[in-house]
Structure 1
Amino acid sequence: MRPAKSSVVHFLSRVGVSVVGFFGTLYLTRTLGAEQYGTYIVVLSLVYWLSIPSNAISGGITKRLSESDQKGSYLGAGLLLTGGAIAVVTVGLALFHEQIVRYTGVSELTLIVFVAVVHLAVPAVTGGLSGQFKVSYAGLLVFVEHALRVGLQVVLLTLGWGLAGALFGYGAASVLVVVLGFALYDVVPRMPTRAEIRNIVDYVRYSWLGSIKAQVAGSAVDVILLKFFVGTSLIAIYQVSWNLAGILVMVAGSIQAAIFPEVSQLAERGEFDQVREMLEDGLVFSGLFAFPGLLGAALIGERVLRIYGGEFDTGVGILLILIVARVISSFGSQFVGVINGVDRPDVAFRINLVLIVSNIGLNALLIPLIGWFGAAIGTAVAAATTLVLGYYYLTDLVGRVQLPYGEFGRQLVASGVMAVTVFAVRSVVPPYSHYATAALVFVGAAVYSAVVLLLSTRVRDKMRVVIPVGL
């Protein structure tokens, strides 16, 4: 019951973020156009990379606050280290301002600095909340930040601020979240000792790779490299395709977050049979949306992309490759999550290192050769490498994991029925109607859900547990 409840709560919060993000992206793309939206994405990708030290420090703040009685001092240490990271980033942006302006295409460096500084401050605030065991507040802040961001951007773009309004709205929302986060603190920051600063630094030394992996596993590395070889309009289409592909793997991320503490507890007692059973359930539900999503994108992906603007429908090929990449990555992440859960971070470290090196290397090799398709293919191949390595190491640690081929087969059959239905309906609805596209999505979802529930006893049984908990 606990993993089911945690999965539902986590999933619903991510659904909220995704819904807000969908409408925000839709408004930005249709207001700014592909060219300016692509520039916006380039700036954010640069900011995400600059925030790696801050994200790593955030993990150290959470860890030390949660295990120590000297919470005020450790909070002060974390904030000081975050301030140092912000200072270094600010100086770096000032020193390389000409290169930054030329690369991003944004002439106002102060705007980039503003977005970067406040974005780096947010992880320290959420990390402090998590360290005070206010994880629910930290999660709520993520949703609040997205909602504030979209609201401010809509207002500023309506007033005619354009790209500057989109960036300023992003930064202003982060400022408000930082203020709200501090207001929720029970702990008052204090001046730390050198030993307390060193303790956080010692933790960060071993956790920084996870922060880099988060950017490499996302689209940030693709965007940074794509900017050297393709126009910003193609980057905009690539990012929208990445976001759409991400909707299909939300369940996998929620399951991974929920089962980690359970796996950790079971592994401590040596109950690896239950670990394998829990992982198998996770894999079943990871594929639940992935398979129909891939077939659905092949049938109506062009129509869905067209909602964002007329030029976006050229990205359907990229969308299909990125769906494959993110589905593979979601399964691989399940394996790596269980490896961490059985207390083998050294093994997870090696797998993540392979992912980072292979993804960056393949992107650097393939993008100059075949353009944006090289970025998508490189990401997919790197994800597949992680999947294979994760399964290999996990089998060595907990025993052979039985993959749920039967359940996957039933999901594929249900996806096939859905695809036939959508194909038949698609031929009789207007091709350029966004309402018709939305109707096709709902018809496909309804048919697939009905068929998969009819075919799969396992899914029906789990739904009987999960739905009442969610309600």
Structure 2
Amino acid sequence: MIKKKIHRAIQSFNPLKQLMASGGLTFMFRIGGLGLNFLVIYIITHTYGDGVYGSYSLAFTLAQATGLLFALGFPNAIVSYLGLKSINHPFSQHMLKKGLKLLIPIALVPLVIYFFGSEFIAVHIFNDPAFTSYIAIAAITVPAMVLHEFVLYFFIGTGNFVKFNIFMFVVPNFILLALLFFIKNVPGHHTFLFYAISVYSVLAIELLFALKRHTKADIETVSLRQMVKFSSPMMFSGIMMYLLNWTDVFMLGAMTSSEELGHYNLAYKVASLGMLVIMSMNVVLAPRIAALFSEGNLHELHKTVKKTTHLIIVLTVPLVLGIILFSDFILTFFGKDFSGGHQALIIISVGFMLNAATGNVDQILNMTGNQKILQNLTIGGFVINVALNAALIPRYGINGSAMASLITNVLFNMVCVHYIKKKLGFYTFA
């Protein structure tokens, strides 16, 4: 029955075949990447313990959130600017090089802040002096994460989905696994140092594939002021969207033990399997939405969004139900202590399933000139999430944080659906 629905959804809209092909490729790469990522978690938890994994995950979340902030929204902006132009197109190379020149000096700012403020942040914010080393490593990691993210989205904007998938999911995980496997008997914070090495390595490799020689043709130029004005709402919405999903990690890091944080983070990563389909479709759908909107073809845009959302629902529901059914088995695979995240996993999974039902709402707003609306909605969602976490964590622990995440994400997605209807005239699922 499910197979027939998928086939009917694909056949009923021809352009969706192309989206499905690229999205399916990303889906397979993302599954492989998650498998490698879970192998990383397995090695860290079994070699160094769940406390080290809790610190590793907190440092990673902090570095990634900082990277999103200092990327200035350029990754999403370049997708909108390029609209599937060739990687060799003079304008594509112009935007890539202009973005890199701007981001390199900006990315050095968090390096200085975190490096010299590592002890203060560890002691006074996270109440964990041992976390100082992780923050110092995060300092040198953030610049590479900023540039890595920008180049990845450059590949999306130019339609190079295979390169995006390889450099996003395969190369960094293989490098990290190799370091974890061959280098033993080191302090726990070296696990995050290995991650830093993997990011710098993959950045060096992907730049060789992204940067091309091109003649200085008569191309449309974009000023720095125009780029910042266009991308700044995307920057705020991007960082707020990230914090919307990861506020619980930061607050649990400040309010609970590193062991509990490790249990929650693993539960969240397992639950995020339920977002595989929607995140995979996001990669290929964003440039398609940008292209259709720039052409003024709202009818085709609506058709694409509706069919994609239906497909996401059909594929996501059985996936999430499977995660819930086998949740205890999956968690205890990483260690018996991780069974404490069982209820949190179920709560988060339900929230992700409801998210999938609304479709790719954030990218629709971002790619249709409504990035300021998305910015305001994400700020509101962030405030609500912080308030709920502050109220529920002291009483319910990691389950309270999971409930806060569920409530916030459902509210956020429903409001996004309302604004898409108001601005574009259609619902994502109808």
Normalized against structure 2, the TM-score is what?
0.80
Q: Which runs of 5+ in 1 are unaligned?
A: 190-194, 405-471
- Could you say which residue in structure 1 is the equivalent of 2:108? 87
Alignment of 1:233 onto 2:233: no
Matched position secondary structure for 1:56:
coil
* TM-superposed deviation, 1:398: 4.1
Residue 361 of structure 2 contacts residue 428 of structure 2 at CA under 8 Å; is this kept in 1?
no
Residue 50 of structure 1 contacts residue 116 of structure 1 at CA under 8 Å; is this kept in 2?
no
Alignment of 1:9 onto 2:32: no
Matched position secondary structure for 2:189:
helix
- Which whole-Å CA distance do the structure 1 matches of 2:159 and 2:305 have between them? 27
Which one-letter code corresponds to 2:192 in the other structure? L
- Could you say which residue in structure 2 is the equivalent of 1:469? none
* TM-superposed deviation, 1:360: 2.6
Residues 119, 226 of structure 1: alpha-carbon distance in 2 compared, 3 angstrom cutoff: same
Which one-letter code corresponds to 2:55 in the other structure? T
Matched position secondary structure for 1:163:
coil
- Which whole-Å CA distance do the structure 2 matches of 1:275 and 1:208 have between them? 24
Structure whose CA Rg is larger = 1
Residues 126, 181 of structure 1: alpha-carbon distance in 2 compared, 3 angstrom cutoff: farther
- Which whole-Å CA distance do the structure 2 matches of 1:267 and 1:73 have between them? 23
Residues 56, 135 of structure 1: alpha-carbon distance in 2 compared, 3 angstrom cutoff: farther
Deviations 1:86-113 (A, max 9, x none): 4322332244232233337464846533
Q: Which runs of 5+ in 2 are unaligned?
A: 1-16, 215-221
Q: Among the aligned pairs, what percent are the same residue?
A: 17
- Could you say which residue in structure 2 is the equivalent of 1:19? 35
Residues 172, 350 of structure 1: alpha-carbon distance in 2 compared, 3 angstrom cutoff: same
- Could you say which residue in structure 2 is the equivalent of 1:358? 384
- Could you say which residue in structure 1 is the equivalent of 2:238? 211
Which one-letter code corresponds to 2:376 in the other structure? R
- Which whole-Å CA distance do the structure 1 matches of 2:273 and 2:285 have between them? 20
Moved more, 256-265 or 127-136: 127-136
Alignment of 1:147 onto 2:174: yes
- Could you say which residue in structure 2 is the equivalent of 1:396? 422
* Moved segments of 4+, more than 6 Å: 70-73
* TM-superposed deviation, 1:160: 1.3
- Which whole-Å CA distance do the structure 2 matches of 1:231 and 1:312 have between them? 14
Matched position secondary structure for 2:71:
helix
Matched position secondary structure for 1:25:
helix
Which one-letter code corresponds to 1:146 in the other structure? N
Residues 293, 215 of structure 1: alpha-carbon distance in 2 compared, 3 angstrom cutoff: same
Which one-letter code corresponds to 1:365 in the other structure? A
Which one-letter code corresponds to 2:234 in the other structure? S
- Could you say which residue in structure 1 is the equivalent of 2:217? none
Q: Work out which of the residue numbers 134, 137, 143 in structure 2 matches 1:114.
A: 137
Residue 77 of structure 2 contacts residue 234 of structure 2 at CA under 8 Å; is this kept in 1?
no
* TM-superposed deviation, 1:181: 2.3
Moved more, 340-349 or 262-271: 262-271
After the TM superposition, which residues 229-308 of structure 1 pair with which residues of structure 2 at under 5 Å, given as runs?
229-267=255-293, 272-308=298-334
Residue 119 of structure 2 contacts residue 129 of structure 2 at CA under 8 Å; is this kept in 1?
no
- Which whole-Å CA distance do the structure 1 matches of 2:179 and 2:385 have between them? 35
Which one-letter code corresponds to 1:301 in the other structure? S
Deviations 1:283-332 (A, max 9, x none): 33323344334443443311211001010112110000110122223334
Residue 61 of structure 1 contacts residue 131 of structure 1 at CA under 8 Å; is this kept in 2?
no
- Could you say which residue in structure 2 is the equivalent of 1:96? 117
- Which whole-Å CA distance do the structure 1 matches of 2:62 and 2:402 have between them? 19
- Could you say which residue in structure 1 is the equivalent of 2:5? none
- Which whole-Å CA distance do the structure 2 matches of 1:185 and 1:296 have between them? 39
Matched position secondary structure for 1:218:
helix
- Which whole-Å CA distance do the structure 2 matches of 1:60 and 1:401 have between them? 23
* TM-superposed deviation, 1:22: 1.8
- Could you say which residue in structure 2 is the equivalent of 1:171? 196
- Which whole-Å CA distance do the structure 1 matches of 2:100 and 2:133 have between them? 23
Matched position secondary structure for 1:96:
helix
* TM-superposed deviation, 1:336: 3.4
RMSD: 3.2
Residues 129, 308 of structure 1: alpha-carbon distance in 2 compared, 3 angstrom cutoff: closer
Which one-letter code corresponds to 1:96 in the other structure? G
Residue 252 of structure 1 contacts residue 331 of structure 1 at CA under 8 Å; is this kept in 2?
no
- Which whole-Å CA distance do the structure 1 matches of 2:361 and 2:77 have between them? 26
Matched position secondary structure for 1:401:
coil
Matched position secondary structure for 2:334:
coil
- Could you say which residue in structure 2 is the equivalent of 1:327? 353
Matched position secondary structure for 1:227:
helix
Residue 241 of structure 1 contacts residue 315 of structure 1 at CA under 8 Å; is this kept in 2?
yes
- Which whole-Å CA distance do the structure 2 matches of 1:21 and 1:385 have between them? 30
Deviations 1:422-461 (A, max 9, x none): xxxxxxxxxxxxxxxxxxxxxxxxxxxxxxxxxxxxxxxx
Residue 51 of structure 1 contacts residue 120 of structure 1 at CA under 8 Å; is this kept in 2?
yes
Q: Work out which of the residue numbers 335, 338, 354 in structure 2 matches 1:312.
A: 338
Normalized against structure 1, the TM-score is what?
0.74
